[in-house]
Amino acid sequence: MTAASRTPIVAGNWKMNLDRSGGTALAAAVAGRRGDAAGVDLVLCPPAVYLVPVAEAVARAGGDVAVGGQNACDKGSGAFTGEIAPQMLLDVGCRYVILGHSERRTLYGETDAGVNAKAKAALAAGLVPIVCVGETLEEREAGRTDAVVSQQIRGSLAGLDAAALEKTVVAYEPVWAIGTGKVATPEQAQEVHALIRGLLAGLASPATAAKVRVQYGGSVKPDNAADLAACPDIDGALVGGASLKADDFLAIARAFAAAGVA
């Protein structure tokens, strides 16, 4: 299975940005022009309180655009103040959930074991987890990229069987490229994506690894998306800043649509 046979997936991580009217307007604009990026799965991940109005705006605009959470609890219900269960995300229309984003790992102390528990809970609930991994600048400069990413992949995806892995999306996001304007070169990104695919083969089999979609994230913009999309192991993008503008988000999605057809 090659990149051409994996459906590209472009997801917008809105983080803690936009209010209700800005978010619904953006969702409507993306969904209304969704046909621009036919053949690419599109996902919008607004702040949790806006999941419902964003899902409604997408439905009104009639576009096949999925909605996802930015985090989820590893428990199904109970006394977990401030948390949101995967089943609750599903219940309000989510199909995806981002897990282990570097901001969650760095600012809120999330560990590989915690991300692993959340990924299992998300899959059990019927959500597709987008599991994020990536090295810091310090780790890259110390030549530790492979070791760090390997540990994150093995820890975050431990115990997932082949069927679970095939549903999971992995996002390689070098921390030094997130929100900094410093994008990894296509060569740097492809090298780590190939490493990740090899690790997935080790966790399951080469056939399973060939089916897993691995996104790149870190300052993806319309002007660098085509070069990233041309890499054989890059199957889409997790987009932060550029996902807040419909034109930019759709231009990135179009770059992956074009690469998929090539």
For ligand PEP, the binding residues in 192-251 under the rule CB under 6 A are 217-220, 238-242
Cβ 243 to ligand PEP shortest distance, Å: 7
| Residue 157: DSSP 8-state | T
Task: Enter the tokens of residue 88.
Answer: 């609750």
Residue nearest to ligand PEP (CB): 240
Q: How many residues at the interface with ligand PEP, by CB under 6 A?
A: 13
Task: Report the nearest approach of ligand PEP to the CB of residue 104 (Å).
Answer: 10
Question: What is the residue whose two structure tokens read 């988000």?
Answer: 249
Contact 145, 192 (CB under 8 A): yes
Please count the residues of the chain.
262
Among 3, 8, 13, 172, binds ligand PEP (CB under 6 A): 13
Please pick, among 101, 110, 139, 193, the residue that the annotation labels catalytic: 101
x/- mask, ligand PEP, residues 35-74, rule CB under 6 A, reads ----------------------------------------
Q: Is 166 a catalytic residue?
A: no
Whether 173 sits among the annotated catalytic residues: the reply is: yes
Beta bridge partners of 9: 41, 236
In whole angstroms, how close is the CB of 130 to ligand PEP at the nearest point?
9
**Please, which residue, 239 or 246, has the CB nearer to ligand PEP?**
239
Nearer to ligand PEP, 89 or 242 (CB): 242
Q: Which is nearer to ligand PEP, 138 or 161 (CB)?
A: 138
Give the C-alpha separation, 79 to 83, whole Å: 9
Q: How far is 17 from 95, CA to CA, in rounded Å?
A: 21
- Catalytic residue, from 110, 135, 173, 193: name it: 173
Least distance to ligand PEP, CB of residue 72, Å: 16
Question: Closer to ligand PEP at the Cβ: 103 or 233?
Answer: 103
CA distance 29 to 247: 9
Alpha helices by DSSP H, listed for the chain, are 20-32, 51-61, 86-91, 102-107, 112-125, 137-141, 145-156, 162-167, 186-203, 206-209, 222-229, 246-261
Q: What are φ and ψ of residue 42, in 5° steps?
A: -115, 140
Is-contact 209 198, C-beta < 8 A? yes
- Residues of this chain that interact with ligand PEP (CB under 6 A) are 13, 173, 178-179, 217-220, 238-242
Instruction: Catalogue the active-site residues.
Output: 101, 173
